[in-house]
Amino acid sequence: MSDSPTRVLHAEGLVKTHYGESGPTHAVRGVNLSVAQGEFIAVTGPSGAGKSTLLHLLSGLQQPDHGSIWLDGQCTDTWREGRWAVERRKRIGIVFQFFNLVSNLSVADNVELPALLAGMSPKQARSQREELLAELGIVGKDRNMPGELSGGEQQRVALARALVNHPPLLLADEPAGSLDSKGTREVMRLLSRFHERGQTIVLVTHNARLASAADRVISFFDGRIADDAQLDSAPSRKTGTSAVLELKD
Ligand code: ADP
């Protein structure tokens, strides 16, 4: 815990149980995690392992039953929903599987909205939007509605929206999960490009091949971190069984 101030994100002892119709589900059962600036971490594991729940906890979209989260060294224990919403806008970009764009707002407005909400001037928001969409290869579609774009294009707009406030942390939950192989390659290439420029990324995916784009892979199994490995030459930091990460689609 002593190093938490230097981390973009630090979590200790996270526990989350969902109470559904079929009884309690222990989705996250005690997770400690530190994310250093500039890391590209993939959290992988089978469906139902608790990956999305973990991401929801890390972004304040759900509250843990136990445990604490620090963002840039700041403890979030006392943050309620409203505070999380404000802090998320500045500090965390989030991309989901189904894009979550506002369907009755244009592409331009979807990207500019979080910037305006965070207090950016309209002029600055527009220039940020133009820059990001050009960078992401969405040209001449600013006035289109999201439904008029392909899945891959919508996900790139979602990425622009997530990055418009230059958040220190980008969280992506199965960002290629609803895309064809071309769209998947596009999104992964863009994530890698932003990472190369220093963007800190935590990517949740059940697809171990996509996970291999990251430089650190956390295998999640049954609500716990089963393995935590650097993908370069650094030795694996094993915390349990490593049998979870099978390289298959
Ligand atoms: P993953 O992302 O690895 O597929 P999830 O975090 O989505 O895993 O789900 C973990 C477990 O928690 C699953 O058994 C899932 O059905 C359950 N779960 C997730 N969200 C809820 C919820 N809101 N209510 C009840 N159960 C849930």
CA–CA distance, 62 with 171 (Å, rounded to integer): 14
Q: Are strands 23-35 and 200-205 parallel, antiparallel or unpaired?
A: unpaired
Q: What is the whole-number distance in angstroms between the Cα of residue 54 and the centre of ligand 1?
A: 10
The pLDDT assigned to 99 comes to: 82
Instruction: Give yes or no for residue 155 CB within 6 A of ligand 1.
Output: no
From the CB of 37, is ligand 1 less than 6 Å away? no
Q: What is the pLDDT of residue 181?
A: 87
Residue nearest to atom 27 of ligand 1 (CA): 18
Structure tokens at 6: 């230097």
Low-confidence stretches of the chain (pLDDT < 70) are 1-6, 233-249
pLDDT for the residue numbered 239? 43
**Does any ligand 1 atom lie closer than 6 A to the CB of residue 160?**
no
Six-digit token string for 157: 């707009």
Sign for the pseudo-dihedral over CA of 169, 197, 214, 153: positive
Ligand 1 pocket residue status of 47, Cβ below 6 Å: yes
Instruction: DSSP for the chain, please give it.
Output: -TTGGG-SEEEEEEEEEEEETTEEEEEEEEEEEEE-TT-EEEEE--TTSSHHHHHHHHTTSS--SEEEEEETTEE-TT--HHHHHHHHHHHEEEE-TT----TTS-HHHHHHHHHHHTT--HHHHHHHHHHHHHHTT--S-TTS-GGGS-HHHHHHHHHHHHHTT--SEEEEESTTTTS-HHHHHHHHHHHHHHHHTT-EEEEEES-HHHHTTSSEEEEEETTEEEEEEESSSSPP---S--TT-----
Whether ligand 1 lies within 6 angstroms of the CB of 223 is answered as no
Question: pLDDT tens-digit profile of 227-236?
Answer: 999 987 444 4
Nearest protein Cα to ligand 1, atom 6: 50
Answer whether 95's CB lies under 8 Å from 159's CB.
yes
Pocket test for ligand 1, best of 53, 202, 222 (most atoms within 8 A of CB): 53
Q: Are 95 and 162 in contact (CB under 8 A)?
A: yes
pLDDT, residue 49, reads 96
Chain length of the chain: 249
pLDDT at 246: 33
Confidence (pLDDT) at 6? 61
